Structure 1
Amino acid sequence: MGKFEVYQDAKTEYRFRLKASNGQTILASEGYTTKAGCTNGIQSVRENSQHDQRFERKQSKNAKHYFNLKATNGQIIGTSELYEATSGMENGIASVKTNAPNATVEEL
């Protein structure tokens, strides 16, 4: 089963990352000023990850693939790592869909 890790970055903003059962990070959040905001972001990932149209598939300037998960208001709630191939990106999306709904939350 996957897990959300909640932590504070160097600027003391709260962030989360969703990790698959193999420990690989599959989605990372933006910074939140409050822990409550971060918790709301996790809930938004749980809900929005079940709708394929909320995944925005992109390509970086160096031709690597990645995706953003967006809320219903269009705001980005999480971004993936960079993938060499489209198939890797699609596997990442499938992993978010599978892991996010029941992932545990661990505070670091």
Structure 2
Amino acid sequence: MSGWFELKKSSSGTWRVRLKTAEATLLDKGQFDDRAAAEASIALFRENCVHPERYVRRIDSSGKNYFKLRSANRDIITKSHLYDSEPTLDKAIETIMRVGTTQLIKEA
């Protein structure tokens, strides 16, 4: 499965970053004030997404699973959306670890 980062400029001038495959949006990394900040976020994500120990699994108040990806110095890089089960969360993390190092960036 191949993937890419989608970089999209909003009408307000901020930049949104998403990690995508043909089948799904894997992560929405949020909005950034400028393109340089968005690209720096992608670079930080690429560095850290391949380390399984940096995915901190959690359960939210509704009982759904999610993760936070942390950097080597324990800063939170991103938070996932919610998943219905732990196996679904595990599969998402495996996919993100495989796809998240992509060098492909598509501007939307």
Please give the TM-score of this superposition, normalised by the length of structure 2.
0.87
Structure 1 contact 54–72 (Cα < 8 Å) conserved: yes
Alpha-carbon distance change, 99 to 30 in structure 1, aligned in 2, over 3 angstroms: same
| 1:47 and 2:47 matched | yes
Aligned to 1:88: 88
Partner residue, 1:3:
4
Indicate the residue corresponding to 2:106 in structure 1: 106
Number of residues paired by the alignment?
Answer: 107
Please report how far the alpha carbon of residue 77 of structure 1 lies from its aligned counterpart in structure 2 after TM superposition: 2.1
Dislocated runs of 4+, deviation >6 Å: none
**1:27-48 Cα deviation digits (max 9, x unpaired):** 1213221110110111111110
Greater share of residues in strand: 2
Task: Provide the rounded CA distance (Å) in 2 between the counterparts of 1:102 and 1:3.
Answer: 6
Query: For the Cα contact (< 8 Å) 1:20–1:95, is it kept in 2?
Result: no
1:104, distance to aligned residue in structure 2 (A)? 1.3
Structure 2: distance between partners of 1:10 and 1:79 = 25
Gaps of 5+ in 1: none
Q: Residue type of the partner of 1:7?
A: K
**3-state SS of 2:32 partner:** coil
| C-alpha distance in structure 1 between counterparts of 2:102 and 2:34, whole Å | 23
Counterpart for residue 77 of structure 2:
77
Aligned-partner Cα distance in 2 for 1:8–1:59: 32
| Aligned twin of 2:14 | 13
Task: Kindly provide the CA deviation profile for residues 31-73 of structure 1, in whole angstroms up to 9, marking residues without a partner as x.
Answer: 2211101101111111101111111111111000011212223
Q: Rg bigger for which structure? A: 2
Q: Which runs of 5+ in 2 are unaligned?
A: none
* 1:32–1:38 CA contact under 8 A, matched in 2: yes
Say what the alpha-carbon RMSD is for the aligned residues. Answer: 1.7
Please give the TM-score of this superposition, normalised by the length of structure 1.
Answer: 0.87
Aligned residue in 2 for 1:62:
62
